[in-house]
A = this chain, B = another copy of it.
Amino acid sequence: MDAPDDWPRFAVTVDLVVLTVRHGRLHVLLVRRGEDPWRGAWALPGGFVHPDEDLHEAAARELAEETGVHQAAGHLEQLGTYGAPDRDPRMRVVSVAHLVLAPDLPEPTAGTDAAAAAWVPVEEVAGPDLAFDHARILADGVERARAKLEYSPLATAFCAERFTVAELRAVYEAVWGRPLDPRNFHRKVTSVPDLLVDTGERRTEGRGRPATVYRPGPATTIAPPLSRD
Query: Residues of A with Cβ closer than 8 Å to B?
Result: 1-2, 4, 7-12, 35, 47-55, 78, 80-85, 90-92, 94, 96, 113, 224, 227
Contacts and interface: CB of A to CB of B under 8 A. Distances in A.
13 contacts: A1-B113, A4-B91, A7-B91, A8-B12, A8-B50, A10-B12, A10-B94, A12-B12, A49-B83, A51-B92, A54-B85, A55-B82, A80-B80
Contact of A48 (B1, B47, B83): B1
Contact of A90 (B4, B55, B92, B96): B4
Contacts of A92: 51
A39 to B, nearest CB: 11
A51 B85 contact: yes
B49 A8 contact: yes
Given A81-B78, A85-B51, A11 B2 contact: no
Contacts of A96: 81, 83, 94
Given A1-B47, A4-B91, A48-B1, A84 B54 contact: yes
